[in-house]
Structure 1
């Protein structure tokens, strides 16, 4: 992101670039200081949910397409979403990235898709979506528990990050849900907020970047490498947009901010999201 002197951010979209290739965690305590109101679009109040979670690769191609059309496509803006071809390649091809689908009577209720970065030192929860018919039933927590298991498989020191909407930029909608409720949901899971604004790289040619995002950390592991966040952002952007992205002023500004953040000491409670600088979307 290209920061302006007042701490706000202007966003510059890059030229058409290749789509990204192919990440998970979070066994964390509940933070009692966070508003306990349920996140309407992700999770229910309390109680165990009996649900099996299958990797996306366990489904047929037709089943994966159904999940994409019923869960992912309605829940995310087009510029946020990988193509169905990329989803099939990354999550159902050779060496599939971590994923989990909750089914009931063969019908998809929820999904998470993760990606590995920096040799598995960072796991990005790229997508988490719950069917509108199943919202408020605890499926979101079931999926996050599965992400925790995936994290253990990737390595005990892995840091788990996720991208979430800044509510000041992206208002609630019936399909994409309520960003404030989503922040509360992750806060109840012990997530913490990175003190920087974030712009998602361009995932498919011509769709543009997605400004107005936050990065959150979902795990509670200690002692990540000091330059881990910088290496993650660099790899994420170059995977998605190619090495020419490194010359982009928006990315350079974001990398400068990332280089100042300690992934343990500098993180904020989720309730502090309004303290962060707000991007200017043009």
Structure 2
């Protein structure tokens, strides 16, 4: 039986197995933090990492930055299930837990119009999964900032958004802008760089528009 366990309660060896057998097979290298960086979240309070365990073996994981804090925005950086356990409800269990972490949850999602299936999971199926859970997207030119110094940013990303109730057609821009400014700076991004400037400019008004996630075709 699958149970969800806060990361702080899980042994380091299980974290390492989770990284190698659940997380790494689900994301390309340019989108994935290192094993040691992932393990470092174990020592943060709160870590924001939840593991799905089946008889002690990791079968899924989610990581939320900003979970448990007073900030109005948190970011779901990673959500993955073991390849052999996909479409068996593990991801949905993790998603339902993640949506309780704050008033607004942002989600980094590959735009399937810009990313092909490279063996890390079908981007269209991933978008369909998030759509089933009520996720929509902020209408901004989002990119994933570098996961480590010297690594590239990842273009062609959607910034999903989830709120406690049905996601409205617009949300307050200020808390999103503040969160993303800190996120970009923490990732070593230059805020005067064109992509960063365009992203923050799209959040300069009082509200930011929300759109539906894309459909195939």
Pairwise same-fold verdict (TM > 0.5): yes
C-alpha displacement of 1:262: 2.5
Match for residue 126 of structure 2?
Answer: 182
- Is 1:257 paired with 2:202? yes
Q: Residues 70-219 of structure 1 correspond to what in structure 2 (within 5 A)?
A: 70-90=21-41, 92-116=42-66, 119-149=70-100, 151=101, 154=102, 158-174=103-119, 176-219=120-163
1:241 to 183, 188, 203: 188
Q: 1:69 and 1:83, CA in 2 relative to 1: closer, same or farther beyond 3 A?
A: same
Query: 1:200 aligns to what SS in structure 2?
Result: coil
Q: Kindly name which structure, 1 or 2, has the bigger radius of gyration based on alpha carbons.
A: 1
Deviations 1:147-185 (A, max 9, x none): 134x1xx5xxx21010100112211133x2111111111
C-alpha displacement of 1:130: 0.7
Q: 1:127 and 1:69, CA in 2 relative to 1: closer, same or farther beyond 3 A?
A: same
C-alpha displacement of 1:261: 7.3
Structure number with greater CO (CA < 8 Å, separation at least 6) is 1
Q: 2-side partners of 1:167 and 1:181: how far apart?
A: 9
Match for residue 229 of structure 1?
Answer: 176
Q: Is the 8 A contact 1:193 1:273 kept in 2?
A: no
Q: 2-side partners of 1:52 and 1:72: how far apart?
A: 18
Q: Is the 8 A contact 2:2 2:55 kept in 1?
A: no
Structure 1 unaligned regions, length at least 5: 1-49, 275-282
Could you state the TM-score of these two structures normalised by the residue count of structure 1?
0.69
Match for residue 16 of structure 2?
Answer: 65
